[in-house]
Structure 1
């Protein structure tokens, strides 16, 4: 796992297992969303904002919007790189570009927006000030 997130992009290696594929050994389309979820979760953890910091405050992130484009399939036993890079952070949402690659080949590109919500009511809540400042700093290249 790549730990340096100073350039704004985080990369998570993901191996394709048989449980990720269809009968033809090709990754089932919805599993790319799972791979992207893992990368976002690890990215936030690297920034110091993992679930251990959100849940005690009653907060959680949920996917608000997802737009994916598939270019080529991943197959059983491929080693993929799944990236997460924020490009916009507002009061309650973060928009990220997420890519899935096999080596240099782009397989899937996604634009994912996550929203910070109250864990009990699921109503929007402001992203904690320090987390928002960190995300905005990454976006600005600081």
Structure 2
């Protein structure tokens, strides 16, 4: 059974690179939303509802709002795990929560940042908002329900 058969979202692993950090070797605050967005888009792609899939049917995905909370710093060469989950699905928007953890040896991972992304779908050519296609709404709800059952 593949991940797309089950309807869940999977974590993304990343090692902090030099380009992610400031002069003191600490990950710049602006990288955390970018890491979460990358994990979200990878998961959407895996469920055939990513940017290219939407583009093929004349739609585009836009971020309407991002809220991020920071808890602890990360440093050059840290191993990170970025996890995402569907929070809520509406007729024309959906909300995905992201979490960035530092992977720790022999103890629980440390939460570094969390965020909530609000997405909407628009018509590709006109840029006007539109309702989420039924297949996307259903897949997102399946992902949300699967996460709740764990």
The TM-score with structure 2 as length reference comes to 0.85
State how 1:1-142 maps to structure 2 within 5 Å. Answer: 4=3, 6=6, 8-103=8-103, 104-141=109-146
Over alpha carbons, which structure has the higher Rg? Answer: 2
Instruction: Give the deviation of 1:59 after TM superposition.
Output: 1.1
Q: Report if the CA contact (8 A) 1:10-1:43 is conserved.
A: yes
Verify the 8 A CA contact 2:69 2:113 in the aligned structure 1.
yes
| Contact 2:65 2:118 (C-alpha < 8 Å) held by counterparts | yes
Displacement after TM superposition at 1:52 (Å): 2.5
Structure 1 stretches of at least 4 aligned residues deviating more than 3 Å after TM superposition: 3-9
The answer to whether the 8 A contact 1:96-1:112 is kept is yes
Q: How far did residue 10 of structure 1 move?
A: 2.3
Q: Which runs of 5+ in 2 are unaligned?
A: 104-108
Contact 1:17–1:76 (Cα < 8 Å) also in 2: yes
Distance 2:47 2:141 in 1: 12
Cα distance in structure 1, aligned partners of 2:137 and 2:7: 17
RMSD of the alignment, in Å?
1.8
Encode CA deviations 1:40-99: one digit per residue, 9 max, x unaligned: 111101212122211112211111111111001111111101111001111111101100
Q: TM-score, structure 1 length as denominator?
A: 0.90
In structure 1, the residue corresponding to 2:129 is in which secondary structure? coil
Please state how far the C-alpha of 1:140 moved relative to its aligned partner: 2.3
